[in-house]
Amino acid sequence: SASEKKDFIRQIVREDLASGKHAAIRTRFPPEPNGYLHIGHAKAICLDFGIAAEFGGDCNLRLDDTNPAKEDPEYVVAIQDDVRWLGFNWHALRHASDYFDVLYLAAEKLIRQGDAFVCDLTPEQVREYRGTLTEPGRNSPYRDRSVEENLDLFRRMRAGEFADASRTLRAKIDMASGNMNLRDPALYRIKHVEHQNTGNAWPIYPMYDFAHSLSDAVEGITHSLCTLEFEDHRPLYDWCVDKVDLANSPALVAPLTAKGLPFEAAKPRQIEFSRLNFNWLVMSKRKLLQLVESGRVDGWNDPRMPTLQGIRRRGYTPSALRLMVDRVGISKQNSLLDISILEGALRDDLDAHAPRRMAVIDPLKVVLTNLDAGFEESLAFANHPKDATQGERQIPFSRELWIEREDFAEVPPPGFKRLTVGGDVRLRGAGIVRCDEAVKDATGNIVALHCTLDPDSRPGMEGANRKVKGTIHWVSATQGVAAEIRLYDRLFTVADPDSESDGKTYVDYLNPDSRKTVTGYVEPAAADAAPEQSFQFERTGYFVADRYDHKPGAPVFNRSVTLRDTWAG
Ligand code: ATP
Ligand code: MG
Ligand code: MG
């Protein structure tokens, strides 16, 4: 069923289907495999795959692999993992390199039509000739080469006769155009570099605009959604599609048949939307690569990274990301969004779905001196306060417990509602205790609290209703399981790490406290979690069992997000 969402792109799709312009729609998500996908890509993925699904169409995953020097199969694997994790399946997995033969024939067609020429200007000369925004460019002296000479030179480029960057194939459009992209843009460049799919078959590689527009046309893409920086490229996109006219050029698409690939002609329409940007993050692949290569983070999947692999490990859920994308909406207005939108979506998703558990992060021993040595019992707790379908689990309660060190104060500050010597506190779901004594070691550190459990305040008893100021969480010291707990915080100390001033850049603003690892204790039902299971640790935050390091019985938890937005910012 078509979505109720009313953004301008869905509106266009709706109209194109209603008018019969397209009987069915097809989109594509076209990442370049030169890095890991990040939160920004989640928006493009949700849009490309989401719109296709909502309108009964389909979406291809296309690896835009036209720049082999920067690309790597490792990225290809991660990209597929990320798209599936977000909950989407592609109709077909394609590569721009699948179409290198088609693109080559299309280039020859342009040459024969007089729409492209081989240019011998150096890169610097090309820049010089291009002109500026206020001044028209000048025609290349090679612009009027004959079709025969162009064909001969282009074939020799393809045969590998010329050095890198010594020549280009350029579209012949308009050096006086107000749109710089139309000033005879390059369609092919010479680059003697091995490609992950085509090996050393090609010493020339197609440029982005040429490859992208024609790949869309080959795959039958009806709506080609991309970010706003490509708005000025749209006239070139249309020029390539129209001039090459694949639908009426059977010879050009013949190589597809040989590869067993379909040709699904469409006149694709490019539509631009604004990029997703958040403060407190950097999202350029170049900067993320530098963080990884310089060892400032533990890798692409470090839980502090804004990569999908990183935030997944941090405990972000696919549904939280989809919720965030829905809340942000689709527009043509670029903006820097506040990170609270991202974190808020995660909190809301986990609040609704994550089971509750008790965990103590900074443990202080409590001994209930009026219970027998070895006293043990098991208490039933609801897994979720607002969702009875999540059922219950048993929590062991015993004479010795762990509580948070900060839930006790020897000298309570004004308004302190938790435990003090001589004061009462409720142990969540277990009864009311009074602290009789803080036991200290030789240096004066508090090592344990001796407390008395009010026997009339046990769960279900009348005395359990007695009013006490505070309720704290706890974990059995005999049955609780020691856990490695990683407390993550923001990677940068400033809200705008991308802005450069006083010669400082994002690497100068790394937060030295972005990860603190502590040993805490968790109830057995948390220790038994599967990797990637998320919980709310009551009063403490949302945590996830680490995707790689957590083992049932040897738990490792990552803090995904605090319970409330506590950052002063
Ligand atoms: P980066 O600049 O971070 O390296 P990119 O645009 O070069 O990103 P691609 O691999 O080319 O990365 O992106 C694939 C698709 O994802 C493109 O359609 C691109 O427009 C879209 N995309 C990339 N970054 C964002 C973002 N921040 N918000 C929304 N869409 C994005
Ligand atoms: Mg790109
Ligand atoms: Mg890029």
**Closest Cα to atom 27 of ligand 1:** 40
What does the DSSP 8-state code read for residue 101?
A: H
Q: Compute the 3-state secondary structure of the chain and give helix, strand, coil in percent, each to the nearest 5.
A: 35, 25, 45
Same fold, 8-273 and 274-356+479-569: no
**pLDDT on residue 501:** 85
Kindly report the average pLDDT of the chain as a whole number: 96
Could you confirm whether 148 is annotated as catalytic? no
The number of the ligand nearest the C-alpha atom of 287 reads 1
The CATH fold of domain 359-473: Ribosomal Protein L25; Chain P (2.40.240)
**pLDDT on residue 567:** 46
Q: Which of 220, 282, 370 has its CA nearest to residue 38?
A: 282
Catalytic residue chosen out of the listed positions 5, 14, 21, 32: 32
Q: Which of 70, 44, 43, 544 has its CA nearest to residue 342?
A: 43
**Closest Cα to atom 3 of ligand 1:** 284
Binding site residue list: 32-34, 38-44, 64, 208, 227, 275-276, 283-285
What lies within 8 Å, CB to CB, of 332 at 6+ separation is: 8, 228, 272, 273, 274
Tokens of 11: 């509106």
**pLDDT on residue 568:** 38
Instruction: Using the atom order of ligand 1, give the atom closest to the CA of residue 285.
Output: 4
Residues lining ligand 1, judged by CB closer than 6 Å?
A: 30-32, 40-41, 43-44, 226-227, 275-276, 283-285
Catalytic residue chosen out of the listed positions 269, 285, 304, 393: 285
CATH for the stretch 8-273: 3.40.50.620
Could you confirm whether 400 is annotated as catalytic? no
Q: Which of 39, 213, 227 best tests ligand 1's pocket when mutated (most atoms within 8 Å of CB)?
A: 227
Residues measured by CB to lie within 5 Å of ligand 2, the ion:
32
Instruction: Using the atom order of ligand 1, give the atom closest to the CA of residue 283.
Output: 3
In words, the CATH class of domain 274-356+479-569 is: mainly beta
Instruction: Using the atom order of ligand 1, give the atom closest to the CA of residue 276.
Output: 28
Q: Which of 471, 485, 481, 494 has its CA nearest to residue 541?
A: 485
State how far the alpha carbon of 74 is from the alpha carbons of 13, 77, 110, 379, in Å: 34, 5, 35, 48
Q: Which of 489, 508, 513 has its CA nearest to residue 498?
A: 508
Binding site residue list for L-glutamine: 64, 208
Residue type, 28: R
> Exposed, middle or buried: residue 242 (CB in 10 Å: 0-12, 13-18, 19+)?
exposed
**pLDDT on residue 6:** 87
**pLDDT on residue 4:** 76
Q: How far apart are CA 270 and CA 225, in angstroms?
A: 6
State how far the alpha carbon of 242 is from the alpha carbons of 238, 334, 557, in Å: 6, 30, 55
What does the DSSP 8-state code read for residue 543?
A: E
Could you confirm whether 551 is annotated as catalytic? no
Domain ranges of the chain: 8-273, 274-356+479-569, 359-473
Instruction: Using the atom order of ligand 1, give the atom closest to the CA of residue 30.
Output: 14
Q: In tens digits, what is the pLDDT along the chain, a chain of 569 residues?
A: 455 788 999 999 999 999 999 999 999 999 999 999 999 999 999 999 999 999 999 999 999 999 999 889 999 999 999 999 999 999 999 999 999 999 999 999 999 999 999 999 999 999 999 999 999 999 999 999 999 999 999 999 999 999 999 999 999 999 999 999 999 999 999 999 999 999 999 999 999 999 999 999 999 999 999 999 999 999 999 999 999 999 999 999 999 999 999 999 889 999 999 999 999 999 999 999 999 999 999 999 999 999 999 999 999 999 999 999 999 999 999 889 999 999 999 999 999 999 999 999 999 999 999 999 999 999 999 999 999 999 999 999 999 999 999 999 999 999 999 999 999 999 999 999 999 999 999 999 999 999 999 999 999 999 999 999 999 999 999 999 999 999 999 999 999 999 888 889 999 999 999 999 999 999 999 999 999 999 999 999 999 999 999 998 899 999 999 998 754 33
The number of the ligand nearest the C-alpha atom of 38 reads 1
Q: How far is the CA of 499 from the centre of ligand 3 (A)?
A: 18
Instruction: Using the atom order of ligand 1, give the atom closest to the CA of residue 275.
Output: 28
Q: How far apart are CA 285 and CA 77, in angstroms?
A: 16
Catalytic residue chosen out of the listed positions 275, 365, 405, 539: 275
pTM tops 0.90? yes
Q: How far apart are CA 293 and CA 278, in angstroms?
A: 23
State how far the alpha carbon of 555 is from the alpha carbons of 257, 329, 384, 531, in Å: 53, 38, 21, 9
Q: How far is the CA of 31 from the centre of ligand 1 (A)?
A: 7
Tokens of 565: 């937005």
Q: How far is the CA of 31 from the centre of ligand 2 (A)?
A: 7
**pLDDT on residue 3:** 59
**Interface ipTM > 0.90:** yes
